[in-house]
Structure 1
């Protein structure tokens, strides 16, 4: 019996490494099959609202075909967002000049402008001033100033509006309202909410 047992053990010892490797492979396959699936990383949004470039202490000017300056934008810091092609400006200072030479100034703690500057939102200590200019039939247009915590200016259509309390100064006259919309081309001013006004005698109308 001893020789037979010895031969059996020898044969088993020959196949033992193969059996162990097979068991190891089988165990590895079972673990992989039954292990929980890894959590897939969240896909990054394709158009994240993140700035793609910055400007610090900058000044940007635009000119027409004749070389006349149309507008200038200054600020302490600007951030451009590629997803909606907007420019956010800290401590914004803007000026634009019409072909007739009428000057409009705007300042605010923060401004948000679209790509061509035709639409500008002003936040915090917002002021838009249109300097006095000659009007139709030689009648002078008095200086106008808008003050609010928020002003929405449309430079090409010469409109200014706000859904927050606003102070309007026209020449020597002064008005306050809860909201306002002004269209310079149509010479229409709409004041809404609690409206108050002070008209000075002899002020230009």
Structure 2
């Protein structure tokens, strides 16, 4: 008896359950950015002034690395420019890149034109050409992508371990392409759902004779 192939929905669920935790780890690494806002600014005024929504310091071409006790890279956050706003204690990063490495060596890369985080990193927003990609262990950054999530906007609430977007999203993995009007993933329960009209395209497999 030949087993019937899994429906694309089951296949997607299995893929997300395996890959999204690492992707979530990548964007949650934005919680490290609050450390940057505590970096002393050499140009900061010594006297208290009325706070306006203007940056009190700017960093360009920066990198933040989180390393395990044995020296292995765990998270790398970088960007073209970082700005801290004292009035609402938020951080913005232009051309943000978050690179996360799982214990098994699998890697995730989150990129966006603009990233915005509150003081403790519990509320993170990625805007403009947002991409979340997962690579196989030991694969180069330009190697095959196991999972690719693409959307104009992505929001992450770290306390609830929730990742969501209300904008169009495209998910691609191993010949499977999903397009929806929105997406939500709750890591604590493993629940996920799509919003609005959703379409799935499965590339035909080529069988060897």
The TM tier, using the shorter chain, reads: 0.5 to 0.7
SS at match of 2:154: strand
Asked if the contact 1:150–1:164 (Cα under 8 Å) also holds between the matched residues in 2, the reply is: yes
Q: Taking CA–CA contacts closer than 8 Å with sequence separation of 6 or more, which of the two structures ends up with the larger relative contact order?
A: 2
Q: How does 1:154-173 map to 2 (within 5 A)?
A: 159-173=162-176
Query: Judging changes above 3 Å, is the alpha-carbon distance between structure 1 residues 199 and 157 closer, same or farther for their aligned structure 2 residues?
Result: farther
Partner of 1:103: 107
SS in 1 for 2:56: strand
Aligned to 1:12: none
Alignment of 1:1-205 (within 5 A): 46-115=50-119, 117=121, 119-132=123-136, 143-153=146-156, 159-183=162-186, 186-201=189-204
Task: Provide the secondary structure at the position in 2 that maps to 1:124.
Answer: strand
Q: CA deviation at 1:72?
A: 1.1
Structure label with greater radius of gyration: 1
Aligned pair count reads 152
For 1:65-124, what per-residue CA distance to the aligned partner results, in whole angstroms no more than 9, with x for missing partners?
443322112211110123443321111122112333331101111111344556531111
What is the RMSD computed on CA atoms of the aligned residues?
3.1
| Secondary structure in structure 2 of the residue aligned to 1:51 | coil
How has the CA–CA distance of structure 1 residues 98 and 183 changed in structure 2, closer, same or farther, with 3 Å as cutoff?
Answer: farther
Q: Retained in 2: the 8 A contact 1:132–1:144?
A: no
Structure 2 runs not aligned, ≥5 long: 1-47, 138-144
TM-score (structure 2 length as normaliser): 0.60
Q: 1:131 to 1:158 in 2, by over 3 A?
A: farther
Secondary structure of 1:143's aligned partner? strand
Q: Deviations over 1:135-183 (max 9, x none)?
A: xxxxxxx822111110124579765311111111122211011110124
Superposed structure 1 runs of 4+ greater than 6 Å apart: 155-158
